[in-house]
Amino acid sequence: MAGLLLLLAAALSACTNPQTTFSPKSDTAQSIQTLYLLVIVMASIVMVGVFGVLGFALFRFRDRPGRVASQTHGNTKLEIIWTLLPVAILVIIGAPALIAVAGSAKAPDEDALHINVVGHQWWFEVQYPGMGPEDPNNPGERLPLITANEVHLPIGRQIYVTLESVDVIHSFWIPQLIGKTDMIPGTVNELQTFTPQEVGAFYGQCAEFCGTAHAQMRFRAVVESLGDFNEWAEALQTAPADPASELAAAGQTLFLAKGCVACHTIYGMPGAAGKLGPDLTLLGDRRTIGAGIVDNTDENLQQWIRDLQQMKPGTLHMPSFGTLPVENPQHMSDAEIRAVSAFLRGMTLE
């Protein structure tokens, strides 16, 4: 009984898992799912068949008083059947699997949207080559459009992702959209192409152990209409409006004064061009902070700035500003943290 309850609990614990692969939302994820179900069905047939015959033999030929087991040697018909049957099963599973594997190596369509994702300990840098502002050093050429921890994807368009890493091996995975592929330093990997088929925000996760905060290295894939996607891409390369409140304006000043700009870029804000940490342009529109780990709310962002080591132990480079000694010039009071949070979350599309 206890065993059954434990099994039930294990099964139910999977019910609300947002990282399920069982509800595919792209053409490629769907084909993986179809293959998976085929294998499960075939494996189930084999299991029922083998255990059925075994059970039957155990019962039918059990030891009974006065009976002597008949002695046989060899059965050609049986030998042929149990050779051909597994061959047939393997062909049924193998043929579609080989076709799917061959398809996974197909070159992307010409009009596929190219995205380059770079792994960092422990967050994702997202680049859209050729979609950003004009390159001042190279007139006529466009820089990549850059964001972090949120991959925007237009629905119905084929997506072609290349993967890199600046430090250790990470792995890029959006369970409902596409299988995982490693991000390896010094090399460029290609993710199998896929076409998103449903609007929504889907969970992504680093799937290769990469250090202390590996489990907290997440992101969101945001699938949206082409109109919304274009609007977002346009807003990312438009200089931000002046802060809407006094508090946010004070936050902008602090963002410079406390050295945040040494690591973070905000497009269009003079002096804010740091590259060590995630780009924060339009942060107010992101669904999460801390690389996909908590909702983007005032409370969470303030807590992040105050003491991020408590929210995401092991985070590199960024100080917990609220816990620094008061005499440290980078220390921030609660009031200052509120201001910086108001400034960052005030940067939105509208």
Q: Which residues bind ligand CUA (CB under 6 A)?
A: 119, 122, 170, 206, 208-210, 214, 217
The residue (of 181 and 195) whose beta carbon lies closer to ligand CUA is: 181
Residue 175 CB, shortest distance to ligand CUA, in Å, is 15
The residue (of 218 and 264) whose beta carbon lies closer to ligand CUA is: 218
Residue 164 CB, shortest distance to ligand CUA, in Å, is 13
Burial of 98 (C-beta count, 10 Å sphere; 0-12/13-18/19+): exposed
Q: Pick the closest to residue 344 from 276, 245, 205 (CA basis).
A: 245
Check: CB of residue 183 under 8 Å from CB of residue 170. Answer: yes
Distance from C-alpha of 192 to C-alpha of 169, rounded to nearest angstrom:
18
The residue (of 118 and 272) whose beta carbon lies closer to ligand CUA is: 118
The residue (of 149 and 195) whose beta carbon lies closer to ligand CUA is: 149
Distance from C-alpha of 303 to C-alpha of 299, rounded to nearest angstrom:
6
The residue (of 210 and 337) whose beta carbon lies closer to ligand CUA is: 210
Distance from C-alpha of 307 to C-alpha of 311, rounded to nearest angstrom:
7
Cis (ω within 30 of 0) for the bond into 122?
yes
Residue 253 CB, shortest distance to ligand CUA, in Å, is 34
30 to 13, 33, 108, 141, 324: CA distances (angstroms): 23, 5, 18, 37, 49
The residue (of 208 and 336) whose beta carbon lies closer to ligand CUA is: 208
Q: Which residues of 100-132 are buried (b: 16+ CB within 10 A; e: fewer)?
A: eeeeeeeebeeebbebbbbbbbbbbbbbbeebb
Distance from C-alpha of 114 to C-alpha of 136, rounded to nearest angstrom:
22
The span from the first CA to the last CA of the chain, in angstroms, equals 57
Residue 189 CB, shortest distance to ligand CUA, in Å, is 14
The residue (of 25 and 214) whose beta carbon lies closer to ligand CUA is: 214
Residue 180 CB, shortest distance to ligand CUA, in Å, is 11
Length of the chain (residues): 350
Residue 308 CB, shortest distance to ligand CUA, in Å, is 17
Residue 276 CB, shortest distance to ligand CUA, in Å, is 17
Residues with Cβ within 8 Å of 74's Cβ and at least 6 positions away in sequence, in order, are: none
